[in-house]
Each structure stands twice: as C-alpha cells, then as structure tokens.
Amino acid sequence: MNDTQRGFIQLHLSVILAGFTGLFGRLITLNEVDIVWYRMLFTSLILLVFTGLPRVGWRKFLQLCGCGALLGLHWMLFYGSIKASNVSIGVICFSLVGFFTALFEPVIYHRRLSFTELVFSLITVLGVFCIFSFDARYRYGIGIGVVSSAVCALYAICNKKVSVGVRSRTVLMYQMSGGLVLVTAIIPVYLMFFPSAQPVVVIPDGNNLWFMLCHALFCTVGMYLLQIQALKCLSAFTVNLTYNLEPCYTIILAFLIFGEGREINFSFYIGIALILLSVLLQTRRALRF
C-alpha cells in the first residue's frame, strides 16, 4: 500500500466520523456558540492528557492558533446553519468547500488555476443548486452555510501549509487550545452579525454534556487526526472535495433519526448524485497520479 492509498483510507474514515457532526449539532440543544466553545475545550483537555505540551516555535504556535480560530469560526457558522434550517441543509452547504478550495488554493500556493478541479467543483455547485431548489424557506440557513464552507476551505489550505514537520496530535492540540482563546474573542463579534435565538449557557448538563464529550472525542479528536494525516499525502482540494461525501452519510442518518426525508423531492436526489459524481471523478484522478 502506497502513501496515496493509505491517505485515502484515512480520509474516508475521517469523513465517516464527520458524518455524525451534523447529528450532534441537532441533538445538542445549546446554541452554536456554546457547542463550538465546549467542543474546543473538551478536545483540548482530551489531547492534553495524551500529548502534554510539546515544544514548537512561537511562529509555528501562532500559525496553529490562527488555523484553530478559522476552524472555530467555521464550526459556529456550520452549526448556525443547522439551527437556522435543518441537518440536511447544513451539511449540503458544506459541499461547496471543494469549490472554494479550487479558487483559494491556487492563490495561496501561487500556482495556476486548475481547469479540471474547477469543473469538478462546478459539478458539485450544480448539485447544490438542485438540492436548494426544493424549498426556499431555508435561505438564511443556506447563506450562513455558504460562508461556513468558504471559511472551512481557508482552514484546510492553511492547515496543510502550517502542519508540515509537526506531529498530527501536536497540530490538533495547539489548534484547539490556541483556537479556543481566539474563538472566545470572536464570539461577541459573531453574535452581532448572527444573533442566536437561544441564550448562551455557561455550563451544559444532562444529555448535552454527554453528547458534547462524545462529539469531542470521536468527531473532533478522531476525525481531525485522520484528516491531518491524509493532508500529508493528498492535496487540500482532494481532501475537501472528498468531504462532499459527508452530507450523504449525515442525510441518511437524519432521514432515519429525525424524519427529514419527508421534506425533500426528486431534485434533492439529483443533487446528491452530482455531488457523488464529482467525488468519484476526483478520486480516480488523484489515484492515477
């Protein structure tokens, strides 16, 4: 097994874990700000137990913290999209990450825009438009989700750049702990632009606490360690485009658990098929190289 094949296995395992993220966003009754803050806090504590505080240079530390802040902002927007619409809409918006990556990555890495990547991304965009045609009630949630996917694309590209030469657990540790501090500062500004209908809760209790702990352990520590490993041998575009499969896993679970299948029509399935097509085409292209 070569590094590329191993990277794809790690990538798809992380996508499966990511499929549960939207479900936790619905099951946890806290607002998006609380969810993100406690997700980063619990993740930092879990990683601190296993990794301690490895030494990194100050420049690298600040870069990792900045990536953590981007990740936290993406999460707040992602959960905000789910709260404003539903699980299916929130995760489908995430499919636009590949499109934004195809636009941002050439600029950050100073390379030419890839026509093939752009075409694959546009297939995804077409699929998203088909999905969004089924209901206009969720425009606000869709808008938040689109911004979330753009921020996530920036995170993945920057993460690939700053994590070079650093162990995966160390990368995630400082992204979570440093990002937690920056996210705390971002929250008041975020609430000005995206006010939440739910009050901020200081200490979660009951089911929320257990859901948050599971969310941090499996859908954060496990998922992002696998993703960081995959980024070491796959491009950010390939990783982000493959994450378009996340909605497929999440939507199936949302249909079974929350009965969201009653809210869609045939165009929704056409959109899902187009998103799957774009992922399969890019996977085939990456394996050939």
- Residue 52, sorted as left (phi over 0), alpha (psi -120 to 50) or beta, turns out to be left
Per-residue model confidence (pLDDT) at position 130: 79
One-letter identity of residue 213: L
Per-residue model confidence (pLDDT) at position 261: 57
Q: Say whether 207 sits in a helix, a strand or coil.
A: helix
Q: Say whether 59 sits in a helix, a strand or coil.
A: helix
Distances (CA, A) of 92 to 6, 141, 220, 226, 235: 27, 11, 19, 22, 22
Tokens encoding 86 = 């539903």
Task: Determine the length of the chain.
Answer: 289
Per-residue model confidence (pLDDT) at position 289: 56
Per-residue model confidence (pLDDT) at position 15: 86
Nearest to 20 by CA among 176, 206, 247: 247
CA distance 237 to 276: 15
Mean pLDDT by 10 residues, the chain (289 residues): 83 85 79 86 88 85 91 88 78 79 84 80 80 66 88 89 84 87 84 74 78 88 86 79 74 70 68 80 70
Per-residue model confidence (pLDDT) at position 258: 66
One-letter identity of residue 274: L
HEC profile of 15-48: HHHHCCHHHHHHHCCCCHHHHHHHHHHHHHHHHH
CA distance 85 to 79: 10
Per-residue model confidence (pLDDT) at position 125: 78
Burial class (CB in 10 A: 0-12, 13-18, 19+), 219: buried
Q: Are residues 219 and 249 in contact, defined by beta-carbon separation less than 8 angstroms?
A: no
pTM of the shown model: 0.79
254-284 pLDDT, tens digit each? 777 766 555 566 777 788 788 778 877 877 7
